Amino acid sequence: MHYLNILYGLLGLSFLVFIHELGHFLVARYFKMRVETFSIGFGPTLFAKTHKGVLYRLALIPFGGYVKVQGMDEDSQEEGSYYNKRPYQRLLMVLAGPVINMVFAFLGFCFIQ
């Protein structure tokens, strides 16, 4: 029974990571940033699929995730690059993950009785 609790915990954590990364992803797409990778988990890939130029990835270690936007790790001036966007757009993309977590938590508490 303890193993099922661990599995449920990991699934719950992975869902929260998904919600967080989805916030980053949606705002990046809204501002026409070129998203290269949407990953839930780290380490070896369990499942991967490319759709419309985005690599969607599920990895073995479920303690995090990331959204990789073109040019986020270097100063790139290409179309759709992170650094090619206005500062407020970059700020909103970075803040979208924590904000969607807070909204999700608020809605969750509203439905608990």
Task: Tell me the pLDDT of the chain (113 aa) as tens digits.
Answer: 688 888 898 888 889 999 999 999 999 999 999 999 999 989 999 999 999 999 999 998 888 999 999 988 777 777 788 888 999 999 999 999 999 999 999 998 998 86
- Show me where the domains of the chain are located: 2-111
Q: Catalytic: which of 21, 36, 78, 79?
A: 21
pLDDT at 71: 84
CA distances from 79 to 25, 65, 75, 83 (A): 17, 25, 12, 10
Say whether 36 is catalytic.
no
